[in-house]
Amino acid sequence: MNLRQFVKYWLWRDTTHRGEFAALRRLMPPDFPRIVVDVGANDGFYGSNSFPFVARGWRSILIEPHPKVFAKLQKLHAGKASVTCLNLACSNVKGTLPLVVGSDGDAPSNSTLSDAPDLKRTQETILVQVATLSDVLAEQKIPADCGLLSVDVEGMDYEVLLGLDFSRWRPRLIITEDYGPKEAKKSEWLISQGYRLVMPIAGNTIWQSVR
């Protein structure tokens, strides 16, 4: 953590990479539901879009498939009644699938369900449980007006969004990670579901419900 990041954290509990927290907060009116769902939560702290909201006591569903990374996530938020940590992946299919282990260390942040050769990964795989986001939200009894959805799953954001029934759950804001080969499909899908692109920010895009 450099000095700038430390100041952001100390003043605002902001762990986002490039000011995503401030951008999201500007889009949240007083009646914004205090619920955040983070798919691809990593360790729950480094570069986290959800941590600033967890730190403010929001109801939080944090989803991370890699077992070692999940252990860090679970330890960070142990004892917090408002936080549920789930050791699984999300996609538009469910079952048990191979997670391709990322290439950035022993507890990697860039593991993925994708087999695309352009992603940073090793040859190692781990079998993980996979659920649709709709199933997760139903099991956790998350209301239809569900606040903020953050998706950062290394090339699989589009599939995660396909697994959400937007007629039943409607996050007011969605932040997704950009991935060139699927960016057009992801954008078309979100627009067709009644979202507008608010802004790109640091390799992410922020979307807002217009219905």
Predicted TM-score (pTM) of this structure: 0.94
Inside any domain, residue 146 = yes
Q: Is residue 30 part of a domain?
A: yes
Domain containing 87 equals 15-209
C-alpha to C-alpha distance for 54 and 203, rounded to whole angstroms: 22
Whether residue 8 lies inside any domain: the answer is no
User: ∠ CA 124-127-133 to the nearest 5 degrees?
Assistant: 120
DSSP state of 176: E
**Residue pLDDT, tens place only, 39-83:** 999 999 988 999 999 999 999 999 999 999 999 999 999 999 999
Strand, coil or helix: 111:
coil
The band of 1, judged by pLDDT with boundaries at 50, 70 and 90, is low
Q: Please check whether residue 4 lies inside any domain of the structure.
A: no
- CATH code of 73's domain: 3.40.50.150
